[in-house]
Amino acid sequence: MNIPLFGIGTFRLTGQTVIDSVRNALDLGYRAVDTAQIYENEAEVGQALEESGVARPDLFVTTKIWIDNYAKDKLVRSLKESLRKLRTDYVDLTLIHWPAPDNGVELPEYMNALAEAKAQGLTRQIGISNFNTKLTKQAVDVVGKGEIATNQIELSPYLQNPGLTAFLKEQDIHVTSYMTLAYGKVLKDPVLAQIADKHQATVAQIALAWAMQLGYSVIPSSTRRENLASNLLARDLKLDADDMAQIAKLDRNSREVNPDGLAPVWDD
C-alpha cells in the first residue's frame, strides 16, 4: 500500500488561499494532497492540481466522504461529484471521514458502499478516519483484511495513541497522522525545542520527523511558502533513540478534535 509519508493538508483553507497553498506545495516538491468533501475546497484543489502541470500519475490525491453521503445510494454519487471538482477520473485514496455513530447509517452500509466505489475504479484505495480499535475491527470484518489502506487519526507528541497504533500495525493498516503539531501547541514544548537545537532544526520539523520515523504519514498544512518548504525538510531528519524516548514521554492523551455526534468512544 503505497501511501506517501509526506503530503499537504488543506483543512480550513478555502478560495484563493487553498489554491496558492497547494500550488506552492507542488512547486516545492510535494506530491500528496489531502482534502475532504466537508472542507468545501475540492474544486479549488482541483484547479491547483491541474494548473500545476504535474502529471496525474505523479500525484497522490486523498478525499474523504462526509456523513451526509454515507448511505449506499449516495456515497458513489458523491464521490463522482468530488472527482468532477478535483478534475480527475479517480482519487488515490478515499476515506470515511468520521464514524458518526448517531448518523443513522450503519457501518456495514457505508463500508460496502466505499468498497463499491473502489470496484468501480473511482478510487485506487479505501480507508477510514477517526476510527477507534473496535470500529476498525468492524470495518475490516466488512471489507476484508488488507482492504483498508489507512486510518487517518489525530496524532501528535501529546496524543500518541499507543493502543490504537499498535493494533493498526498488527493489522497492516497504515497510520496517517493529522494535527501532528497539535494546533501549534507542541511548537512551544521545551523538550522538543531542546531536540530541535541539537539537530539545528525547527520544532515543527522535529515533530513531523518523529511521526515519520514511527512509520506514519503526515499532512501538515500552511499558507506560507517558507513554512511549506521548511516542513518538507523534516524528511531529511534522523532522530536518535534518545530523542525518540524523550518524545515518547510527552504523551498526555491530549486531544484537540472531538466533535459530538461524529467521534467514537476513544481508546484509552
Collect all residues with Cβ–Cβ distance below 8 Å to 213 and sequence separation of at least 6: 238, 239, 244
Binding residues for substrate: 97
Cα torsion 66, 72, 76, 81 to 10°: value is: -50
Rounded average pLDDT over 204-213:
98
Query: Which residues are tagged catalytic?
Result: 39
Nearest residue to 168 (alpha-carbon basis) of 181, 186, 155: 155
Nearest residue to 262 (alpha-carbon basis) of 116, 114, 96: 96
Rounded average pLDDT over 38-63:
98
Q: Please write the tens of the pLDDT for every residue from 137-192.
A: 999 999 999 999 999 999 999 999 999 999 999 999 999 999 999 999 999 999 99
Residue 1 reports pLDDT greater than 60: no
The strands making up 60-65's β-sheet, listed across from edge to edge, are 8-9, 32-34, 60-65, 91-96, 123-129, 148-154, 174-178, 217-218
Domain boundaries, the chain: 8-248
Q: Does domain 8-248 have CATH number 3.20.20.100?
A: yes
Residue 211 reports pLDDT greater than 60: yes
Give the pLDDT band of residue 2 (cuts 50, 70, 90).
confident
Binding residues: 97
**What share of the chain in percent tops pLDDT 70?**
99
Q: Please write the tens of the pLDDT for every residue from 214-253.
A: 999 999 999 999 999 999 999 999 999 999 999 999 999 9
CB atoms within 10 A of CB 2: 9
Burial class, 201, CB count within 10 angstroms (exposed 0-12 / middle 13-18 / buried 19+): buried
